[in-house]
Amino acid sequence: MTSASPSASASDAPLHVLGALALELKGDAAVNRSALSRQDAGTLSEKIARDLAGFAKDTAALDLITVGAHYDPVELLRPGWPLHRELDDLAARAPRERGAEQAGRVIAFGAHDERLPGTLTPSPDYAGGPLRLVPFALSGAPELVARVGEILESSLLERGMAGADTALAAQEAFGLQVEHARYLTVHDLTAMMAMQYDHAGLGPLWPLLETALLQPEGEQWLDAPPEPLVHYADGEARIALFSPAAWHERYAPEAPCGTEECREKLNRRYQHFEARLKQIAAVLGAHGVPVTFVHCDGAPEPGQL
């Protein structure tokens, strides 16, 4: 994906290509390290730079910015791409050779005294997943960024396998077992996660989450009973927190139950609804979407959600 700076207008040329080296891990094999030393991060980044130049030769004229660390997809797929933005902010402080505005640098951040700079430390809350991502950003002349971005967007999903030595280097450096290693733009990753969420039963939530990721200034509803009612607008998700009576009116408007069996069935449905509401709130929170619960004793008033 190509992206403009937060203050840039939509008509501005893209400033970055955002992506990741995706490491699909074998089974439940242990992961020994989540972050690499500066030297090891630099070694891996050189291989990443070589691989990307093989897909689009003009990437060699762009700065590659990456980090010797791996993350869960939810840590990358957040509104505003904060992890990639942190890479870019740190790279902006990296010195250039005096009197030179060189493109084609490889800037790799690694750990010093087992600590990564800025906010690059992977969260232990999301460790252990089967897909781990080493993020990268390409930056440079806008026309080159646009050209490279177009090529990578159209090619990586189908033929973006990493070099065998790159996969081996990542496996040895991080101390993990790699089943497959490939490159993805963040658009590719978004499409992949949409399919995974659909398979996991979270398909109804995806349009709202996709709006938060790709159009954070946009608006989207999840309004599909028996799902919770969620409204994304102004950069946050507002979730209706129905009282039992209001839930009954919206989700179970059939005639009142007169038997204990019927009441127990309704109670189970309400408990399932509450569990689903908590699940959706947790997924949104993991993706960095602020969540606000709005108490509703009846149908939400206009503007309440």
Task: Give the model confidence (pLDDT) of 241-288 as tens digits.
Answer: 998 888 888 888 776 676 777 878 888 889 999 999 999 999 999 999
* Residue 186 included in any domain: yes
* Residue 219 included in any domain: yes
* Residue 305 included in any domain: no
Judgement on whether residues 18 and 125 belong to the same structural domain of the protein:
yes
Average pLDDT, the chain: 90
- Confirm if 5 and 167 have CB atoms less than 8 A apart: no
Judgement on whether residues 59 and 126 belong to the same structural domain of the protein:
yes
- pLDDT value at residue 39: 95
Last residue of a domain, which of 200, 235, 258? 200
Judgement on whether residues 173 and 245 belong to the same structural domain of the protein:
no
Judgement on whether residues 33 and 115 belong to the same structural domain of the protein:
yes
Judgement on whether residues 172 and 214 belong to the same structural domain of the protein:
no
- Confirm if 178 and 24 have CB atoms less than 8 A apart: yes
Judgement on whether residues 79 and 195 belong to the same structural domain of the protein:
yes
| Average pLDDT of the residues in 232-243 | 95
CA distances from 125 to 75, 76, 109, 280 (A): 10, 14, 22, 17
User: Sorting pLDDT into bands at 50, 70 and 90, what band is 10?
Assistant: very low
Judgement on whether residues 89 and 166 belong to the same structural domain of the protein:
yes
- pLDDT value at residue 244: 85
- pLDDT value at residue 101: 56
Pairing of strands 236-242, 291-296: parallel
Judgement on whether residues 137 and 254 belong to the same structural domain of the protein:
no
Stretch among 72-76, 182-186, 240-244 having the lowest mean pLDDT: 240-244
pTM equals 0.89
* Residue 304 included in any domain: no
Residue pLDDT, tens place only, 107-162: 999 999 889 999 999 999 999 899 999 999 999 999 999 999 999 999 999 999 99
* Residue 138 included in any domain: yes
Residue 217 lies in domain: 207-296
Q: Tell whether the model's pLDDT for residue 199 goes beyond 70.
A: yes
Judgement on whether residues 59 and 190 belong to the same structural domain of the protein:
yes
Last residue of a domain, which of 200, 235, 263? 200
Judgement on whether residues 196 and 211 belong to the same structural domain of the protein:
no
Judgement on whether residues 182 and 233 belong to the same structural domain of the protein:
no
237/246 Cα distance (integer angstroms): 20
* Residue 76 included in any domain: yes
| Average pLDDT of the residues in 75-94 | 94
* Residue 303 included in any domain: no
Q: Tell whether the model's pLDDT for residue 201 goes beyond 90.
A: yes
Last residue of a domain, which of 156, 183, 200? 200
User: Sorting pLDDT into bands at 50, 70 and 90, what band is 8?
Assistant: very low
Q: What total of structural domains would you count in the chain?
A: 2
* Residue 158 included in any domain: yes
The strand pairing partners of 109, in sequence order, are 67
49/104 Cα distance (integer angstroms): 9
